[in-house]
Amino acid sequence: MSGPISELHAAIVAAVATMTGGEVPELALERPANAEHGDYATSVAMRLAPLLSRKPREIADELALALAVIPGVESVEVAGPGFLNLRLGDQWYRDALSDMLAAGDEFGRQPFAPGVETLVEFVSSNPTGDLTIGSARNAAYGDSVARLLEFTGEKVTREYYINDAGNQVGLFGQSVQARRLGREIPEGGYPGDEVALIAAELDLADDAPLEDWVAKGVALMVERIRASLASMRVEFDLWTSEKGLHETGAVVAAIERARVQGRIFEQDGATWLRTTDFGDDKDRVLLKADGEHTYFASDLAYIDLKFQRGATHAIYVLGADHHGYIQRLKAGAQCLGYDPEHVETLIYQLITVSGERMGKRRGNVITLAELTEAIGVDAARYFLVQRSHDQTLDIDLDLAVEASSKNPVYYVQYAHARCASIERKAADEGLAIDGIGSGHVPEGPEKALIRRLAEWPEVVASAAELRAPHRIVSWTHELAADFHAFHHDLYVLHEDAEIRAFRLSAVHATREAIARALALIGVGAPDRM
RNA sequence: GCGCCCGUAGCUCAGGGGAUAGAGCGAGAGACUUCUAAUCUCGAGGCCGCAGGUUCGAAUCCUGCCGGGCGCACCA
């Protein structure tokens, strides 16, 4: 990570190391809530006190002298129990802005780490119906995490696992056929309108065998799913078929691999995987007494395939109703001889619409397509990752549809459009600038904006590390607020060329920053609104 | 019973050990002759579920309890 703040951080670490002779406690640079406490503050002196057996104020006084000579630091004061409050000089702000502009879209980005191949498997909804709003959360969250990981230096592959084997797709095939022939839909079948659409579209004779109805019906359903995901800017690199795992012998091979590892046993006529060896609360059946493979058998083969294909890290994005799989998946990987640390499950909590949980059997399903149609792709993606994935999410559809003009996504997009508008006007009036100038003394709103912009590398790094795209949303909203305040207080296209150059530079940096941040959550940044 | 997530303003939620806990929505009062008012400014509104513990310092970490959501298949 690099950037104006990490440079400041590094300089403080160096000063502390000089003082202690090498040892440096975890050192955080904070932005004090109270402006009287400076631009940045650190509590390092308090953390150092027990290590050095000295009083924190004493340490702080000594460190203050060392920090005062760091380039860009205007003043240092010791406050409270031993806080070191730093105030940054005008030159720091000019340098920070200039560095950010020079970095452009690389600002905060990290180069690809060699040898890292991250696989993110997400959505993977059964191809028996249109994607629901729950899958929409999965898609928005999973794709945003993938984008974050790419931005912070991982090579990412996005994969969708198609559950096209077993009873459910069999029932789906029967439902398609029943629709076509105008018959009753089988017990537990799929009554959705999309099934009828597929039935009408299928090029099949009425008496075609069931497996054809299944295969062709699933193919069309998968295409519908792919299209709906693409419409919300989610694209997969790989679509892996469960049926294919059976056909290629991958399932049998995975079981054999586990057998070689000594994790297979027979009991009650079934073949079991001893996942309890690795912390699962019960062993799992792979081959049932009736000779059929379980769903978990394909899961096991799929884990095997992921690592055999060269993934170094396999991420699963699952809804809270699947959290019981975590231990099973990790134990399964371990039974195959893989490191469970390389299997990561990301659980997002369930989504409700206007307070009600969705369910196919509840008959109140809202589809992904309906959501994006109702509030637009930008608002949908913004809404879906606005809150922590650990938090159940309620979408108030009435509000989202009816009051979309006060939707927070517009607040952020409007800041971007304002920047673009100012830049357009500058170009039209021949006020284009080259560089940030040298003489302008930044004012309060300008400083606040630049401090915010400078946080980006740390924000994006922690969002990626925590798999928390909602942090991007929070930060972007704060950035937009800082910009709107700046815009309100200060006139950008000022007659003074120095002032104009500086402010136009800040506007340009802001526009780039908003676009960059929104791109990581798949939201567009319009130039006009 | 066991496991995962949550409990912060009227509502929906941010706050990965720091100083006086924040935002949006809602309710209140103001600001457009200037780069888009989809904006800005100001005020109101809080036993951060409860009780212990760790720490110089806890909304944040640990333990217990209470409340809510979701799971615990030879289903997929």
What value of ipTM does the predicted structure carry? Answer: 0.95
Strand B and A347 CB separated by under 7 Å:
yes
List of E strands, A252-350: 264-267, 270-273, 284-287, 313-319, 343-348
Mean pLDDT of A136-157: 97
pLDDT, mean of residues A247-256: 97
A2 touches strand B (CB under 7 A): no
For the stretch A108-126, pLDDT in tens is: 999 999 999 999 999 999 9
**Closest-approach nucleotide to residue A355, Cα vs C1':** B12
Most confident of A51-55, A256-260, A492-496: A256-260
pLDDT of A362 higher than 60: no
> Is A411 (CB) below 7 Å from strand B?
yes
Q: Which nucleotide is nearest to A409 (CA to C1')?
A: B38
> Distance between CA atoms of A58 and A248, rounded to whole angstroms?
70
Residue A315 pLDDT exceeds 80:
yes
Report the distance from CA of residue A525 to the C1' of nucleotide B40 in Å, as an integer.
Answer: 22
Q: How far apart are CA A333 and CA A337, in angstroms?
A: 7
Instruction: From residues 215-244 of A, list those within 7 angstroms of strand B by Cβ.
Output: none
**Rounded CA–C1' distance between A323 and B67, in angstroms:** 22
- Position A355 scores a pLDDT of 67
Nearest to A371 by CA among A409, A349, A400: A400
Q: Which nucleotide is nearest to A293 (CA to C1')?
A: B74
> Å between A503 CA and B9 C1'?
36
To the nearest 10 degrees (0 to 180), the angle between helices A444-454 and A470-489 is 160
The predicted pLDDT at position A404 comes to 65
Q: Residue A403: pLDDT band by 50, 70, 90 thresholds?
A: low
Asked whether the predicted pLDDT for residue A97 surpasses 90, the reply is yes
Q: Which of A416, A435, A444, A396 is nearest to A523 (CA)?
A: A416
Cα–Cα distances in angstroms (integers) from residue A452 to residues A67, A94, A110, A233, A472, in the given order: 22, 14, 20, 28, 13
pLDDT band at A406 (very low <50, low <70, confident <90, very high): confident
pLDDT surpasses 90 at A454:
yes
CA-to-C1' distance for A380 and B24, Å? 16
What is the model's pLDDT at position A359? 64
Residue A207 has pLDDT above 60, yes or no: yes
Q: Provide, in whole angstroms, the distance separating residue A394's CA from nucleotide B5's C1'.
A: 15
Q: Using CA atoms, how far apart are residues A188 and A171, in angstroms rounded to an integer?
A: 7
Look-up of token digits 């650190």: A42
Q: Is the CB of A267 under 7 A from strand B?
A: yes
pLDDT, position A60: 93
**Which three-class secondary structure string do you get for A307-327?**
HHCCCCEEEEEEEHHHCCHHH
A361 touches strand B (CB under 7 A): no
pLDDT over 90 for what percent of chain A? 80
Indicate if CB(A285) is under 7 A from strand B. yes
Strand B near-CB residues (< 7 Å), A 94-153: 126
Measured distance CA(A81)–CA(A180) in Å, rounded: 77
Q: Is A71 exposed, middle or buried (0-12, 13-18, 19+ CB in 10 A)?
A: exposed
DSSP A121: E
Query: What is the reported pLDDT for A24?
Result: 82
Residue A78: CB less than 7 A from any atom in strand B: no
Residues 290-309 of A with CB within 7 A of strand B: 290, 292, 294-296
